[in-house]
Amino acid sequence: MQQQTPLYDAYPSLSAVPRVLLCTLPSPVQLATVSGADVWIKRDGLNSEFCGGNKTRALEFLLAGVEPGDTLVTAGGEGSTHVLATAVHARRLGARVIGVRWRHEMNPSAQRIAERIADECVVSRVYSNALIALARAHFVRLMQRCRYIPIGGSTPLGVLAHVNAALELAAQIRAGELPIPARVVVPLGSGGTVAGLSLGFAIAGIETATIAVQVTPAIVANHFRVRQLISATARLIARLTGERVPSVPTRLLGIVRDAYGGAYGRVVPAATSAARELAEVSDIRLDDTYSAKAFLVARELARHAEGPTVFWDTFDSRLL
């Protein structure tokens, strides 16, 4: 398995942080022309042979130390790619996963993910709402004394993987694979990917804005939570390395809420149409929960805003 870890080039002492290799990195970039606009695409869904995507990056740190026979518990929505990725990669390590989920509006891609979760988890239960599901997950954790993998992998430890992803893109820019983007557009769910990319671009010293497209309720997808994750991850890096970590300028982090649709998992017809346009000119398939909504915003920015736009595809379309 090939790995490039520019995070260790920036902070060599971070190589001591426990990690298990699940990805083949770097994930590729490619250019697509959609509706007359050029959109650069970071194909992070191809970062692993087994269930790739942004969740798998974080799991490299969060599953470190997992042993054969271990039982893990995690939580997420009924069609959660995080729950699926945790189950798939834990099984590769010989562990098993109890998946605790909650109901939300479903779409065809979310339904396909839900079916895969049922196959991959040793136990998988769906509850009526998130509060009940989270309470159940913590009850299972205490009663069975098993390891808990946080929702979306969005902890400072998991965010390190997305800092590495931003530095990986910076290395691809230096290698001439793409121009310096004016912005990178990425779905905003639990916030870990957005926080890590923003912090990573600051560390790399590139003036690229992170445009986060809301796909979960605002109680989760908000500036305060993302900033908390950025600050906590910066403190973790500083504590482990003894080095100063750059701050993320306010002007280089934005949240777009127009593509949300009002509910997690709800289909937004304009996003589905944009995803269909992309599929007509490439082999990229987007899911209706996360990536189609972010691509809709990326396409419009590429058409109307100055400078190159990168769409960060966090979804492994092979799951569909």
Query: Hey, where are the domains in the chain?
Result: 6-49+154-319, 56-152
User: In which band, very low, low, confident or very high, does the pLDDT at 3 lie, cut at 50, 70 and 90?
Assistant: confident
Q: What is the rounded end-to-end Cα distance, in angstroms, of the chain?
A: 24
Domain covering 56-152, topology? Rossmann fold (3.40.50)
Asked if 170 and 6 count as a contact pair (C-beta separation under 8 A), the reply is: yes
The H-assigned helical ranges of 153-311 are 156-174, 192-204, 223-241, 269-281, 291-304
C-alpha 170/C-alpha 198 separation (Å) is 12
Q: Is the pTM of this model over 0.95?
A: yes
The pLDDT value given to residue 4? 77
The pLDDT value given to residue 267? 98
In this predicted model, what pLDDT tens digit does every residue of 197-246 receive, in sequence order? 999 999 999 999 999 999 999 999 999 999 999 999 999 999 999 999 99
C-alpha 260/C-alpha 105 separation (Å) is 13
C-alpha 47/C-alpha 27 separation (Å) is 5
User: In which band, very low, low, confident or very high, does the pLDDT at 320 lie, cut at 50, 70 and 90?
Assistant: confident
C-alpha 200/C-alpha 56 separation (Å) is 18
- CATH placement of domain 6-49+154-319: 3.40.50.1100
Tokens 């403190």 map to which residue? 235
User: In which band, very low, low, confident or very high, does the pLDDT at 44 lie, cut at 50, 70 and 90?
Assistant: very high
Question: Is pLDDT at 72 greater than 90 in this prediction?
Answer: yes
Written as six digits, the tokens of 284 are 């990229």
Mean pLDDT (whole number) for 30-34: 98
The pLDDT value given to residue 1? 61
Instruction: Please determine whether the domains at 6-49+154-319 and 56-152 fall in the same fold group of CATH.
Output: yes
In this predicted model, what pLDDT tens digit does every residue of 119-177 receive, in sequence order? 999 999 999 999 999 999 999 999 999 999 999 999 999 999 999 999 999 999 999 99
Can you point out the beta strands (E) in 81-228?
A: 96-102, 123-127, 147-149, 183-188, 209-214
Mean pLDDT (whole number) for 65-91: 98
Question: Is pLDDT at 2 greater than 90 in this prediction?
Answer: no
